[in-house]
Amino acid sequence: MTRSDIAPALADLSSHRAQLDRLRTQDLFARDPRRFERFSLRLDDFLFDFSKHKADARTIELLVALARAARVEQRRAALFAGEKVNLTEHRPALHMALRNLDGGPILVDGRDVMPDVRAVREKVAAFAEAVRSGAIRGARGDAMTDIVNIGIGGSDLGPAMAARALSPYCAPHLRLHFVSNVDGADLADTLKGLDPAKTLFIVSSKTFTTQETMANAASARKFVADALGEAAVADHFAAVSTRLDKVAEFGIRPDRVFGFWDWVGGRYSMWSAIGLSLVIAIGAQNFEDFLRGGQDVDQHFVSAPLDRNIPVVMALLGVWRRNVWGEATHVVIPYDQRLARFPAYLQQLDMESNGKSVTRDGAPVAMATGPFLFGEPGTNGQHAFFQLLHQGTDIAPIDFLVAAEPTDADAGHHALLVANCLAQSEAMMRGRSRAEVEDILDKQGLSKHEIAALAPHKVFAGDRPTSTFMYRRLDPRTLGRLVACYEHKVFVQSVIWDINPFDQWGVELGKELCNRLAPIVQDAAKPTTGLDGSTAGLIGWRRTLSA
């Protein structure tokens, strides 16, 4: 049963869908020569085109009514006011403060947090510039050439994604590496070829207890200590953490520890000191431009009318497809090789935030929540899973991302890349009918029998909804805008689904069981009594293989 406050709005949308079902998206373009203008939104050069969705003016009107029924505007105000919107952890979610560059106060429990935010930002910038200039050196006096960020989840995905996306802006004399997996191969492959005397490790863990991160940090510490001596650890490590005691035990000096706050969730932490590796790579000014891009969207999100608000419209179109059309998957295709990690970053942002089955007050949800999200850069995805997107039995809405101009890339290649992006969005909408296929095959000289046999395989249903982001080029400010748009989209959808997007209790059970199983896996003498039959059997088989 749908939550009562939005039930009438959803019923109106369901009835409206039945009317649109009789049309094709191309019919909507035929009816309205200005459709692209009416169904696209702009923030300076940053454009969001949703005209290829099966939606008309009435659709948007009904979706906005849904947002108002769900009290999106009120919940948005609570978010920005620093209220404890993360109900289960009794915390605000104020990552927007990290990119507040205008100096206005932002309050948490009546206290302005901006002086602390600015102080950490300045400390990060100063340290980063010292590493970049060579003022900070290793134990033997060498300038750093390699920076290794050790983290996992939000302490890895955001900086790793952004560093790759902004590689043309990275210092040419520095190499950036990211280690996240507890699989020893991740760290081992990273350390190959690195000179410990010229390597800086950044351990990113708020509590300094994250299992995977601390296992990798301990191995990295041994790498330095074995090569340079125990005393060298202090010269080759920095930390992003709030646990000064544990950081000190590890051997990291207080002036190389950078903190953040419990109102910064992991998957929103790239804007904080967690972005230290990124600041070192691209420089403080470029990082500020990245922050400014996020702030651009924050200001747009709180001021633009709902029907002209990019994150709100993104969210409402997602609800339209998820809850009215019943589509469980969302696909993100950046036509930019440097955005290769952007879909993985969004997987955490979206699925960890909105992968919930209870409402904010703990009752079972009454409607489907977050979609499964995946993606791959174009054109690689076209030669992998686009077959299913075009002709599969399920429909998956797609976001395309593309720059008008390349950044440090061949202009001819880029024109071909853009053409591929536009061709795919057109093909998803248009499809190809049986009659069109038969006409093409007839002109190719096939017989009627051959046409009858082949034609069904070449039909494309079309009417597959896509949105397209287009911007001048992928620079730090544009990346900031993209990330913030998706952050606020996820928040708006959580409001409509009445769930808490800022906790992630679903990751806890696996961690607890791992802590219980690790001693049994490590010590073959320990009994498997009390384990389920499959787990006990797998541990036994591993012991056989490892004997």
Architecture (CATH level 2) of domain 7-69+304-430+465-503: 3-Layer(aba) Sandwich (3.40)
The pair of three-digit structure tokens given for residue 354, joined into one six-digit string: 């909105």
CB burial of residue 314 (10 Å; 0-12, 13-18, 19+): buried
Residues 310-331 have a mean pLDDT of 98
If one counts every other C-beta atom within 10 angstroms of the C-beta of residue 472, the result is: 14
Q: What is the mean pLDDT of the chain?
A: 97
pLDDT tens digits along 20-30: 999 999 999 99
Residues 262 and 95: beta-carbon distance below 8 Å: no
Buried b (16+ CB within 10 A) or exposed e, 503-519: bbeeeeeeeeeeeeeee
Assess whether 383 carries a catalytic annotation: yes
Q: What is the pTM of this model?
A: 0.96
The predicted structure's pLDDT at residue 103: 79
The predicted structure's pLDDT at residue 2: 62
Please name the amino acid found at residue 330.
Answer: H
Assess whether 192 carries a catalytic annotation: no
Cα 309 from Cα 48, distance rounded (Å): 10
pLDDT category, 1, cuts 50, 70, 90? very low
Assess whether 352 carries a catalytic annotation: yes
In this model, does residue 209 exceed pLDDT 90? no
CA terminus-to-terminus distance, the chain: 55
The predicted structure's pLDDT at residue 547: 87
- Among 472, 467, 480, 473, CA closest to 342: 480
Catalytic residue among 173, 383, 413, 448: 383
Residues 257-274 have a mean pLDDT of 95
pLDDT tens digits along 356-382: 999 999 999 999 999 999 999 999 999
The predicted structure's pLDDT at residue 242: 87
How many Å separate Cα 175 from the centre of its chain? Answer: 23
pLDDT tens digits along 411-455: 999 999 999 999 999 999 999 999 999 999 999 999 999 999 999
Catalytic residue among 222, 413, 448, 511: 511
Q: Strands across the sheet with 237-240, in order?
A: 175-179, 146-150, 199-204, 237-240, 257-258
CB burial of residue 384 (10 Å; 0-12, 13-18, 19+): exposed
Cα 343 from Cα 322, distance rounded (Å): 19
Q: List the chain domain ranges.
A: 7-69+304-430+465-503, 115-287, 436-463, 506-546
Residues 178 and 147: beta-carbon distance below 8 Å: no
Residues 6 or more apart whose Cβ sits within 8 Å of residue 194: 146, 148, 177
Catalytic residue among 288, 352, 438, 487: 352
Distances (CA, A) of 465 to 25, 59, 329, 430, 474: 9, 14, 12, 10, 24
Domain 115-287, CATH: 3.40.50.10490
Cα 441 from Cα 436, distance rounded (Å): 9
- Among 485, 494, 507, 509, CA closest to 87: 494
pLDDT category, 143, cuts 50, 70, 90? very high
Domains 7-69+304-430+465-503 and 115-287 share a fold: yes
Cα 243 from Cα 245, distance rounded (Å): 5
| DSSP secondary structure string for all residues of 105-164 | --EETTEE-HHHHHHHHHHHHHHHHHHHHT-SB-TTSPBP-EEEEE--GGGTHHHHHHHH
The pair of three-digit structure tokens given for residue 224, joined into one six-digit string: 């330095």
